[in-house]
Amino acid sequence: MPKYLVLYVTQKRPAEQQIDEIRRGKEPWITWFKAQGSAIVDQGNPTAKPFALNKKGSTRSRLDKIVGYSIVESQDPEKLKAMVIDNPHLDQPKTSIEILQIMPLM
C-alpha cells in the first residue's frame, strides 16, 4: 500500500520553550491517531533546530517551518485527504499540511 510523508507546516516555528505546551496539548492528537487506526505507519514527532547542509559541509538555517511529521498509508489519495483534513494541526492559525508520497526504490 502506498505510504505518505505528512509534514506539518506553520508560518512561525514554536520556540523551544513551547515544547512543554505542545506536550500538554497532545490529547487531540491521540484522538486523531486512534481514529486513523492502521493507516498510521509512524505517528512521527515534532521537529526542531532545522538546518540545511551542502556538499562542502556549509550549513544554513532552513527557511521553511516544518514542525513535525507522520507517515501514513492509503490506497486512495482522496481518502487520504479526507483523513488528514481533520488533523489537529490545522486547528492552529497559519498552518498547513504537506503530503508527499514515499517512492520505495529498494
Parse the chain into domains and list their residue ranges: 3-102
Over range 2-18, report the average pLDDT: 79
Residue 5: other Cβ atoms inside 10 A: 16
pLDDT tens readout for residues 51-61: 888 888 877 77
Would you place residue 17 in the very low, low, confident or very high pLDDT band (cuts 50, 70, 90)?
very low
Q: In what order do the strands lie in the sheet with 3-10?
A: 40-46, 66-73, 3-10, 95-102
Q: Which residue has the higher pLDDT, 19 or 36?
A: 36
The mean pLDDT value of the chain amounts to: 86
The stretch 38-46 carries a mean pLDDT of 93
We find that the CATH architecture of domain 3-102 is: 2-Layer Sandwich (3.30)
Give the Cα separation of 33 and 39 in Å (integer): 9
Query: Cα separation of 71 and 79, whole Å?
Result: 15
Report percent pLDDT > 70 for the chain. Answer: 85
